[in-house]
Amino acid sequence: MDITQNLYSSIMSNGQLVVFDCKYYREYTEFPAVISNLNITNMSTVPPIAKAVYTYGNKSNLRSLRFIVLAGQKSDDSLLRTIKNYTPDVRIINEYGPTECCIAVFSNNDLDETNISTIGEPVWNTGAVILNHNNELMPIGVIGEICIYGIQLAKKYIGLKEETENKFIIQKSLNERVYKTGDLGYSTPDGKFHIMGRIDNQLKVNGFRIEPFEIERIITSIEEVDDCAVLSAVTNDGVEQIVAYYSSEKGMLKEKIYDKIISSLPKYMIPAKIIRVRCILRNSNGKIVPGNFEVISDNQEETAKKVFRSPRNEIEKEIISVIEEVLEVSGIGIDDNFFELGGNSFNALSIVSKTNRLFNTEELFSNPTVRMLYDNIISVNYHDDSILKQMNVSANSEYAMICIPYGGGTANVYYDLSKEVISISDKIDIYSVRLPGHEITDDENYMSIKDIANKILEYVIERNLYKKKLVVYGHCSNGSALTIELTRLLQENNMKPVLSFVGAALPANNSKIALKLIDMSSKLASDEAIFTRLKKMGFSAGTDESFMDRIVRAFRFDGESATEYYINMEKDVKLDVPIINIVSDDDPATKGYSKKYIQWNKYTDMLSLIVVNGGGHYFVNSRTAETAEKLVKAILMY
């Protein structure tokens, strides 16, 4: 739904609008936690994202929902059944309307399995009719093209005069300007409209309009391809996918076609499957005749290329396990292509999340086999033994910002933040700390906070980072403890930071007895209890046991390391550096922050507070854009 409509709905109902930040990374796995933490009652989204929310959610963390608006494409039976099973009191609403008509112009306020094709009645101040191919009005019950009129129609397609004249016409009987949607449907005596499909070949996948000819044009530009047809297909679980069929006398061209389309098309337009057929059948008008293509199976040469290759190490084994789980396939080797297995932009997000961000979606799309991912991305990113990983490069940078991951986290947790920061300002380089023993390919032993701070200091001197304005950011208890120690060490060595941030943490208890009790409690907690706590707080991690074990071990050590640091601190460190405590207003770890944050003044006389709205404990990932904006604004003041 258009954001303005949601905004006004929230204002008029005395509600609060929550907009998920997903410019660089759509963390669907975190949606249920946000819904639960913020007690969200209304959700407006496309069916594929609703399916993801209910896949990762449960009856407990989705129970606050009361209304779900589905739009963008047709829903399916299985999704509606799942919604009703998990949240039986939810009212499901279907909204329909093209962008050309200001989005929502039809509403079916009681969507269920019996009326999935019913788009409902036009909303107030909107009219709709069914027209035939001569643009004449059709009677009730007769199928034709759904056309819309009213004051909300767009004026034109900018720079597309012919397209505007074809789509926006004056209907003579109505004497109204109407928009021809291209959707087939009919009306019933009760005033409701029902949609039947398209009069053209346009596809709707994951809420995106897709013109098949744009994909066909890219594929047929390959010299060896004779013909091509792009259609949609629905999987067993109701997910609509793009399938490209091609004919060629030159043999199998899947890899060449994937290379071409990945470099030429946005991710949402990349076909889930590319299938070679004997020929593309067309009727006398040149239109494709689907359903009768004779598929050509892989020849011996192609089959030889696809010999099963086993994972070479535990990391590849873990990645394959996640891919098999998400794509619901088995027997994957390290040379099997993600797209040929049925991968797309939607399930890629799940894979990235479940592998604890070893790579991002862009890296997966450009390296679609496990072998390529490991050799080109993971081994490069994670076998570098430098204590700092540079996350972005700014030609005009004036600041070097050192970011310390939260407990159990890797350097990659700041990937999204670095992208947001550089989109706002080119003056800040971000370096993320590789905590020893935390990275997935890391065989190093864990290190104490003081030892890590000394390694960072060595890097700062060796790479001349001290010549820039230094900024330190640490998240969670371990990150904030390391921030205090690193800031102290830099100040002691005449490389004083201009600013330090402590995120998602309040000062440690002054009582050494209390700290020792906290340390004992952490040591006694089971791995399952820690992992459950992490997930409840919004930590995004893979479901594979090896991932869980690694994260829990690292988190346990980080918490104990921070506590030990404060216990052994003989006296409070006094810093001649401004400290900003940045918290989220709904983070249980910083409850009472408005009064308690002032306790950080035992480390500095220059203290201030920044609050992020509704981000939970891991707001650097869940509210990345807002966090980046607030950080940049603060940094550029120094």
> Structural domain boundaries of the chain?
1-96, 203-305, 314-381, 384-635
The neighbouring-strand residues paired with 45 are 70
pLDDT at 542 over 60: no
Pick among 3.30.365.10, 3.10.20.600, 3.40.50.980, 3.40.50.300: CATH of 1-96: 3.40.50.980
In the numeric block, the tokens 């050799």 are attached to 375
Distance, in Å, from the CA atom of 367 to the CA atom of 376, rounded to the nearest integer, reads: 8
The 10s digit of each residue's pLDDT in 114-168 is 888 899 999 888 999 999 989 999 999 999 999 999 988 988 889 888 889 989 9
pLDDT at 448 over 80: yes
Confidence at residue 458, expressed as pLDDT on a 0 to 100 scale: 93
Length of the chain: 638
Question: Of 548, 551, 565, which is closest to residue 603 (Cα–Cα)?
Answer: 565
Confidence at residue 535, expressed as pLDDT on a 0 to 100 scale: 67
Distance, in Å, from the CA atom of 541 to the CA atom of 554, rounded to the nearest integer, reads: 13
Confidence at residue 509, expressed as pLDDT on a 0 to 100 scale: 62
Angle in degrees, CA 364, 368, 369, rounded to 5: 120
Q: pLDDT confidence of 510, banded at 50, 70, 90?
A: low
Distance, in Å, from the CA atom of 434 to the CA atom of 326, rounded to the nearest integer, reads: 28
Average pLDDT over the chain, rounded to an integer: 82
Report the topology of domain 203-305. Answer: GMP Synthetase; Chain A, domain 3 (3.30.300)
Query: Best-predicted range by mean pLDDT among 25-29, 167-171, 357-361, 548-552?
Result: 167-171
Classify burial at 383, counting beta carbons within 10 Å of its beta carbon; exposed 0-12, middle 13-18, buried 19 or more.
exposed
pLDDT at 257 over 80: yes
H helix or E strand, kind and range, residue 210 = strand 208-210
- What would the mean pLDDT of 362-376 be, rounded to a whole number? 82
More reliable by pLDDT, 514 or 579: 579
pLDDT at 357 over 90: no
Report the topology of domain 314-381. Answer: 1.10.1200
Distance, in Å, from the CA atom of 162 to the CA atom of 157, rounded to the nearest integer, reads: 9
Q: What is the DSSP string of 547-577?
A: HHHHHHHHHHHHHHHHHHHHHH-SS---BSS
CA atoms within 13 A on the CB side of 614: 16
Confidence at residue 251, expressed as pLDDT on a 0 to 100 scale: 76
Q: Taken in order 321, 324, 327, 332, is the CA torsion positive or negative?
A: positive
Confidence at residue 20, expressed as pLDDT on a 0 to 100 scale: 67
Phi, psi angles (nearest 5°) of residue 130: -110, 125
Q: Are 535 and 586 in contact (CB under 8 A)?
A: no
Confidence at residue 567, expressed as pLDDT on a 0 to 100 scale: 81
What are the tokens at 514? 């209390």
- What would the mean pLDDT of 263-272 be, rounded to a whole number? 81
The 10s digit of each residue's pLDDT in 298-320 is 544 444 445 677 888 777 888 88
Is residue 34 classed as helix, strand or coil in its secondary structure? Answer: helix
pLDDT at 553 over 70: yes
**Among the ranges given (230-234, 383-387, 606-610), the one the predictor scored with the smallest mean pLDDT:** 383-387
Question: Of 107, 208, 72, 98, which is closest to residue 152 (Cα–Cα)?
Answer: 98
Q: What ranges make up the beta strands (E) of 376-497?
A: 388-390, 399-404, 428-433, 469-475
Question: Of 619, 616, 602, which is closest to residue 61 (Cα–Cα)?
Answer: 616
Question: Of 55, 115, 44, which is closest to residue 83 (Cα–Cα)?
Answer: 55
* pLDDT > 90 fraction of the chain, expressed in percent and rounded: 27
CA atoms within 13 A on the CB side of 7: 3
Confidence at residue 37, expressed as pLDDT on a 0 to 100 scale: 76
The 10s digit of each residue's pLDDT in 186-199 is 999 999 999 988 88
**Among the ranges given (152-161, 206-215, 407-416), the one the predictor scored with the smallest mean pLDDT:** 206-215
pLDDT at 2 over 50: no
- What would the mean pLDDT of 353-368 be, rounded to a whole number? 76
H helix or E strand, kind and range, residue 68 = strand 67-70
Query: Best-predicted range by mean pLDDT among 104-108, 398-402, 459-463?
Result: 398-402
pLDDT at 210 over 90: no
Q: Are 405 and 389 in contact (CB under 8 A)?
A: no
Confidence at residue 395, expressed as pLDDT on a 0 to 100 scale: 62
Q: Are 226 and 249 in contact (CB under 8 A)?
A: yes
What are the tokens at 146? 């759904």
Confidence at residue 416, expressed as pLDDT on a 0 to 100 scale: 83
Domain pair 1-96 / 384-635, same fold: yes
In the numeric block, the tokens 């030159």 are attached to 250
- What would the mean pLDDT of 494-506 be, rounded to a whole number? 94
Q: pLDDT confidence of 543, banded at 50, 70, 90?
A: very low
Q: pLDDT confidence of 250, banded at 50, 70, 90?
A: confident
Q: What is the CATH number of domain 384-635?
A: 3.40.50.1820
The 10s digit of each residue's pLDDT in 40-93 is 888 888 887 888 788 777 787 888 999 999 888 788 888 898 899 889 999 999
